[in-house]
Amino acid sequence: MKAVIQRVSQASVTINEKIVASINSGLLVLLGVVDDDAQEDITWLSNKIVNMRIFPDVEGVMNNSIIDNHGDVILVSQFTLHANTKKGNRPSYIKAAKPDVAIPLYQDFIKRIESDLGKPIQTGEFGADMQVTLINDGPVTIIIDTKNKD
């Protein structure tokens, strides 16, 4: 699994001109799934995201997590995170999991992050054409790949 985590002061997801998710302070998480991802990837990545200290404390030092800040999360599936750009100019998405594998893992990830966070999150729609808007706060953008956790 690969995730791009962005600390935001505002974010939303629109599908067919309808806003389906909207938050103020929190995290926008873009999530890409590959075929060999498993429950241990979900557990590790969710724990990492909700406990990552990327929010400022009272002294302005990045010392607080999304849990500490009681922030919200929008999770958006994004297979293009696994693009291979080594050859030519057209990215290859062969490493990205097909929907029959990716959808159950995405849904399990939603449940896990809600459990770890202690409240519901908002999401985009798997496979939909989405417009994602955000105000990146900081800016703070972190990329995590569960294949590089050692």
19-43 CB burial, b ≥16 within 10 A, e <16: ebbebebbbbbbbbbbeebeeebbe
Q: Which two tokens stand for residue 57?
A: 């404390």
Catalytic residue, chosen from 39, 80, 131, 141, is 80
Residue 79: active-site member: yes
The DSSP annotation for 86-102 comes to: SSSSS-B-TTBPPHHHH
Residue 133: active-site member: no
Catalytic residue, chosen from 14, 39, 55, 78, is 78
Residue 80: active-site member: yes
Catalytic residue, chosen from 79, 109, 122, 146, is 79
Distance CA 95, CA 92 (A): 8
What amino acid positions are annotated as catalytic residues? 78-80
